[in-house]
């Protein structure tokens, strides 16, 4: 027969069982120390009040940031690819390099920046990443080879494939039609600043649109034209095949650049005329244009704040819950 156990006996049994483990000994100390539990509950309640007060103060941390708005320029490069662009005068020490090769290499650096390098060493600028750039080439006829685009990698690939015309029927210098096609391409875009860079090494001799008509059209459309006359003064070496041996020889070709017409085009459109008689001079011209025509940059500074109100409220509730739990737990002394 089991003898009934009173309240005092029950407390003793609990204490004896709890004392058999380390955790039990720790809990047993609280079972016989109600003052400790009361103190802990009071401390937790006080911390809850402090946390709630901090939450009401709306603590937050700020992260200063900037938003930059860039307004790019629309630029069309208009390149002469007539037979005379095969002259070898822009790099006097290397007759393997023709005029068009130099123009292509420097235009690539103008678009991508000096960091991309090139086989014609030059320092032009940091590139035009925010600008729409297109390409028009002309000889007897004008061709739009690349529309205005921000995909400058694809543009450069097209530039690298640009070649001098090989058929006599395609040769000539339709300067007016090349510029007019560039103006048409620029008309299709809403950029506030529109620029055409017109490069030739000769005199306009074909085409239904004259350079003067193209200049007026550009002026009406608000297109600024920078004109570049490329070629040395006097005569330039041009490769030819010897009629009897078939070997490549260099013949002297007179350099004729219609500087008067190019100056009129630049003046009427608010641009400038440049003369490049070697690769270094042409690089300097690209550098000047790069500095004259830059994208507009507007910077807006603001601060983003991260609110910590919820964290402190959650902490206060957790503290109050812990305090209430301690007040009603079985660890308190049994009566």
Res. 87 pLDDT band, cuts 50 70 90: very high
Residue 194 carries which DSSP code? E
Confidence of residue 318 (pLDDT cuts 50, 70, 90): confident
pLDDT band of 16, cuts 50, 70, 90: very low
Average pLDDT over residues 308-326: 73
Give kind and range of the element (H or E) at residue 179: helix 175-187
Taking the model in full, what pTM does it have?
0.68
Q: What is the rounded average pLDDT of the residues 199-223? A: 96
> Cβ distance 312 to 51 under 8 Å?
yes
Of residues 40, 44, 35, the one with CA closest to residue 333 = 35
Return the pLDDT at 305.
64
* Domains of the chain from N-terminus onward: 8-59+308-328 (no CATH), 69-298 (3.40.50.410)
Q: Which pLDDT value is given to residue 23?
A: 39
pLDDT band of residue 120 (cuts 50, 70, 90) is: low
Residue 28 pLDDT greater than 50, yes or no: no
H helices of 32-151, in order, are: 34-56, 99-112
Average pLDDT over residues 74-102: 94
Taking only the tens place, the pLDDT of each residue in 30-56 is 444 556 656 666 776 777 777 677 767
Average pLDDT of the chain, as a whole number: 81
Burial class from Cβ neighbours inside 10 Å (0-12, 13-18, 19+) for residue 124 reads buried
Which segments of 167-272 are extended strands (E)? 194-200, 223-230, 235-241, 248-254
Q: What percent of the chain has pLDDT over 90?
A: 53
How many whole angstroms separate alpha carbon 270 and alpha carbon 263? 11
Q: What is the pLDDT of residues 295-305, one digit of tens each?
A: 665 545 555 66
State how beta strands 194-200 and 74-80 pair: parallel
Tokens 């070997």 belong to residue: 247
* Mean pLDDT on 72-78: 93
Among 59-68, 132-141, 180-189, 208-217, name the one with the lowest average pLDDT.
Answer: 59-68
pLDDT of residue 88: 95
Q: What is the DSSP string of 293-326?
A: S--EEEEEEEEEEEE-HHHHHHHHHHHHHHHHHH
Instruction: Give pLDDT, residue 150.
Output: 92
Q: Mind listing the pLDDT tens digit for each residue in 241-283?
A: 888 888 889 999 999 999 999 999 999 999 999 999 999 999 9
Examine the pLDDT at 186 and tell me if it is beyond 90.
yes
């Amino acid at each position: 027969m089991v003898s009934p156990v009173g309240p005092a006996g029950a407390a003793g049994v609990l204490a004896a069982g709890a004392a058999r483990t380390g955790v039990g000994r720790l809990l047993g100390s609280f079972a016989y120390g109600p003052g400790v539990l009361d103190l802990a509950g009071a401390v937790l309640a006080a911390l809850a009040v402090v946390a709630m007060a901090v939450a009401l103060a709306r603590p937050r941390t700020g992260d200063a940031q900037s938003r930059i708005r860039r307004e790019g320029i629309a630029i069309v490069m208009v390149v002469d690819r007539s037979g005379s662009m095969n002259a070898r005068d822009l790099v006097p020490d290397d007759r393997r390099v023709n005029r068009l090769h130099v123009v292509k290499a420097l235009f690539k650096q103008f678009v991508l920046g000096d960091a991309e390098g090139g086989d014609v060493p030059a320092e032009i600028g940091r590139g035009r990443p925010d600008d729409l750039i297109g390409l028009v080439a002309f000889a007897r006829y004008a061709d739009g080879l690349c529309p205005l685009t921000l995909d400058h990698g694809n543009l450069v690939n097209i530039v690298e494939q640009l070649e001098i015309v090989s058929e006599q029927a395609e040769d000539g210098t339709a300067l007016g039609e090349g510029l007019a096609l560039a103006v048409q391409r620029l008309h299709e875009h809403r950029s506030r600043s529109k620029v055409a860079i017109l490069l030739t090494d000769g005199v306009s001799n074909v085409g239904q649109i004259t350079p003067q008509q193209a200049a007026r059209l550009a002026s009406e459309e608000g297109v600024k034209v920078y004109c570049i006359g490329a070629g040395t003064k006097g005569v330039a070496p041009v490769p030819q095949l010897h009629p009897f041996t078939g070997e490549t020889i260099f013949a002297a070709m007179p350099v004729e650049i219609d500087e008067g017409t190019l100056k009129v085009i630049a003046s009427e459109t608010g641009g400038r005329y440049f003369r490049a008689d070697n690769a270094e001079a042409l690089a300097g011209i690209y550098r000047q244009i790069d500095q004259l025509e830059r994208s507009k940059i507007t910077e807006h500074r603001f601060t983003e704040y991260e609110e910590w109100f919820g964290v402190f409220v959650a902490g206060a509730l957790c503290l109050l819950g812990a305090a209430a739990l301690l007040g009603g737990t079985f660890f308190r002394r049994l009566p």
